[in-house]
Amino acid sequence: MRPACGLAVDSNILPPIALPANLASRAGTRIPFELVKPPRIAIFLGCGKLEEMREPVPKSADFMRQAIALALENVRSGNGGPFGALIVQSERVIAEGVNRVTTTNDPTAHAEIVAIREACRALNSFQLTDCDLYCTCEPCPMCFGAIYWARVSRVFYAGTAADAAQAGFDDAFIYGQIRKAGPERTIPMTQLLRDESLAIFAAWKQQASRKDY
């Protein structure tokens, strides 16, 4: 069953901040100032109305700094792309994720996906309805879909899609492909045997023991 939820976004510029000493330096190398400028933090409300965040609560900023530190460490270690994410439940971090695409040869191993998988494993649930996701960049189309399927309560992100594009991660192409008809896409998508495939959904609807998601 698909969620009947609206999407709302708000953003705010935080006042000047400084990273804690234990995060401001890694392996003796100080983080350049431009990397610790206050991120723009925005909020998605999964099933609620737009909620203004003139000044995000301190805890939210702390969690975002943790995600930023994870991403920076991932880059410096050479273990993956420049992205990090946290799943928080009741103001406690229950899962972390960094981009592992190149180290695991898994194109779906984005930081948000890794964190969602870990959180679901930790909670033994496929829904994260009472959890918040903190990610260092605006989610890509794949992660955006995963967020809604996981029923995350809220999403906080720092960098924007435009920031990611400047670093070589441009999602505009994918969004453009979604708007095109299947045969017109760069990777052609052709429909076959629809009538026969409907038997699958019929069997699902008749399955008394099914677990809806």
Q: Of these residues, 52, 96, 112, 196, which one is catalytic?
A: 112
CA 139 from centroid of its chain's CA atoms: 5
Q: Kind of pairing, strands 154-159 and 131-137?
A: parallel
Q: List all residues 6 or more positions away from 24 whose beta carbon is below 8 Å from its beta carbon.
A: 18, 30, 31, 36
Q: List all residues 6 or more positions away from 190 whose beta carbon is below 8 Å from its beta carbon.
A: 182, 183
**DSSP E strands: which ranges in the chain?**
9-13, 25-26, 29-30, 40-45, 84-89, 92-98, 131-137, 154-159
Inter-residue contact 20 to 51 (CB < 8 Å): no
CA 196 from centroid of its chain's CA atoms: 35
Query: Positive or negative CA dihedral for 29, 34, 38, 39?
Result: negative
Which 3 state secondary structure label does DSSP give 83? Answer: coil
Whether 112 is catalytic is yes
Cα distances from 213 to residues 121, 122, 200, in angstroms, run 16, 18, 16
> Could you give the residue numbers annotated as active site?
112
